A and B are shown apart, each in its own frame.
Chain A
Amino acid sequence: MTTPIYEARDISRSYGSVRALEGANFDVYPGEISALIGDNGAGKSTLVRILSGAEQPNGGQILFNGEPIQLETPTDARSRGIETVFQDLALANHLDPIQNMYLGRELMKPGVMGALGFMQRSAMKNEGKRAFSELGATVRNFSGPVGGMSGGQRQAIAVARAAAWASEVIFLDEPTAALGVVQTKGVMDLIRRIRDKGIAVVLISHSMPHVLDVADRVHVLRHGKRVAVMDAKSTNVEELVGAMTGALDGKEAA
């Protein structure tokens, strides 16, 4: 393949004496779903936090489109089209889906009214509805507070919001952990549609069947390192668990 859209080389990160990442590598390509798996404490969350700008690495290099970059804040990542949905979803419960989608990126009216802080509410509503429906996220109520909606609906809103702004890479941290079977299928479909838009999707998940079902490649982290990259078509749950736990220590792909 060509250059990865987003790449991490030899990333290390310590918290005091705890070494969360020790030379981890990671790469994603446009229009690809990669899964990031690993046991608890393997460094998945730390890696995602670093790649989304929420934390800074102690060492290593981050390359965006082949160019080395520095991410000081999450805003630096977002300005490059890299979005992250953390497990807490980060939705403002009292606001409606449209307000949540445009929070921090409000469309302002042109001219004096915009300078006074007036927003283009109808434009946001129309654009927002279009973005939700384009992804097939069936939001039933655009004007009710999201706090009153179900877990699946809230997850869909959070993922669709990220997808609407992500032009390059989207990280999803355990998007199906709290969902039932039907809702999980819905989120999986949503992930495929995001991939079809040409965006690189990174899925952090504990659920091996879901990972094998939806991902193109699977990156396995163990002890702060990437120990294997598997093609999802040609691997199976046993092999993944083996790589995660260290039972298959021959197959280094990092």
Chain B
Amino acid sequence: MSLETEDTVKLRETEDSVIRQPFTSRLGDAIKSQAMQIVLVWLAIVVIFSVLSPDAFLSVSNFRNIAISVSILAILGVGTTFIIVTGGIDLSMGSVLVFSGVVASMVMENVGTGQGWGVALLGIIAALASGLAWGLLNGFLVAKAKVPPMIVTLGTFGAALGLSQVLTGGIDLRASPDVLVDTVGFGSLFGVPSLVIIATTVVIIGIILLNHTRFGLRTSAVGSNAEACRRVGINVDRQLIKVYAFAGLLAGLAGVLNLSFFRSTTIAGHSLTNLDVIAGVVIGGTSLFGGIGTVFGTLVGLFIPATLRNGFVILGVEPYWQQVVVGAFLVGAVYVDQTRRAASSRGTTRTSLYSRISHRNRNTNRRES
């Protein structure tokens, strides 16, 4: 309706300024604000636990614990956000993390018994390379072989875990140089744990990458309309491979942190990591249908389950309840996303019963034009 001649534009101006201008900007705001809504939800949870247990919950050391517990998931969450923005899914990142840790551990063990940075660096490189390799495999199978991402990553989820067990005989390796454990696993800078610093850095890089770079724009575009991307000459396959490779690389990095923190390859410990991460991404407002998502939302979406788990433990509530509550959050977040998508395809955002009733006439107008 943008193409009217001057006078028709003027005629419709009053009406338009009431209806259309707010509605499109409202849609943009709604998308941006979903991350903010999630922040408010998290703050509400914090307030409730703080009131119920001011001493134990509301302390710097407790928040440090929560942040540490989120760190590794947040690094996985950044990569997974990018994948879900393309309209894909990743089930393999927990296994890739374990595999990277196993390879790093074996490399460091075979190099010698050194506890210095030289050995640690080799281990880090081995872990990053392993993660990258799995990511490339995922990306290649999704983009070139056209196997659905859920199946591809379900396959690599099993394969990476299985290979980890083959390599180790199923027994956790514990080779982790002291420097790695002291500086990365348990080190801190100005009272902030290294894990949190590394995770924050990755999250900030992720935010910048998604919002300010061509890579981020094309990631969203591929998830929004792959055919449109092909028409304008974007190599969609290559973009997908890059995104999965990026997520794999981050899973490799998470493998290093995991090994440094737990001093173990935790082979059996990451079978549900994928679901935790995906839940965080989705609670954070990233659409499972692709096209939109925020890294910041993912971070907050991961903080909510971690905070609930922490608070329940402090309050002495059975921690199993956390799973129930997070499950409800997950379904609620997807419900909100669905309503938003339906609203935007109708060309309107309906948020409340009141606005449904009061806007009915305007909506009818809009559909005609």
Contacts and interface: CB of A to CB of B under 8 A. Distances in A.
Contact of B213 (A91, A119, A137, A150): A119
Interface string A95-117: 11001000111101000000011
A201 B165 CA distance: 64
B222 to A, nearest CB: 9
A94 B21 contact: no
Interface stretch (A55-63, A183-191, A202-210, A234-242): A183-191
A97 to B, nearest CB: 10
B27 A145 contact: yes
Contact of A74 (B215, B225, B231): B231
A92 interface: yes
B9 interface: yes
Interface in B1-31: 1-5, 8-9, 16, 20-21, 23-25, 27-28, 31
Categorize the interface residue count of chain B. 35 or more
A150 B1 contact: yes
9 contacts: A74-B233, A75-B233, A93-B291, A95-B221, A118-B214, A141-B28, A149-B24, A156-B3, A183-B1
Contact of B347 (A117, A139, A149): A149
A189 B7 CA distance: 14
B129 interface: no
B217 A95 contact: yes
Contact of A119 (B5, B21, B214, B344): B214
B228 A183 contact: no
B213 A118 contact: yes
A103 B212 CA distance: 13
Given A136-B3, A144-B24, A117 B228 contact: no
A147 interface: yes
B234 interface: yes
Nearest to B222: A92
B18 to A, nearest CB: 13
B369 A152 contact: yes
Interface in B208-244: 209, 212-215, 217-218, 220-221, 223-225, 227-229, 231-234
B224 A93 contact: yes
Q: Does more than half of chain B's interface fall in helix, strand or loop, or is it mixed?
A: helix
Nearest to B213: A117
A125 B25 CA distance: 16
A190 B5 CA distance: 10
B262 to A, nearest CB: 34
B232 A152 contact: no
Nearest to A157: B2
Contacts of B362: none
6 closest A-B pairs by beta carbon, nearest first, are A186-B3, A104-B232, A94-B291, A117-B213, A144-B24, A90-B228
Contacts of A105: 232
B233 A180 contact: no
B368 interface: yes
Q: Does more than half of chain A's interface fall in helix, strand or loop, or is it mixed?
A: loop
Contacts of B233: 73-75, 78, 104
Contacts of B5: 185-186, 189
A94 B220 CA distance: 8
Interface string A187-217: 1011000000000000000000000000000
Contacts of B4: 138, 182-183, 185-186
Contact of A92 (B221, B345, B366): B221
Given A86-B231, A94-B220, A104-B233, 17 more contacts: A90-B227, A90-B228, A90-B231, A91-B225, A93-B291, A94-B291, A94-B292, A95-B221, A104-B229, A138-B2, A140-B21, A148-B23, A149-B24, A150-B347, A180-B368, A186-B4, A187-B3
A115 to B, nearest CB: 11
Interface in B286-307: 291-292
B234 A103 contact: yes
A105 B232 CA distance: 8
A3 interface: no
Nearest to B341: A147
Nearest to B221: A92
A131 B196 CA distance: 45
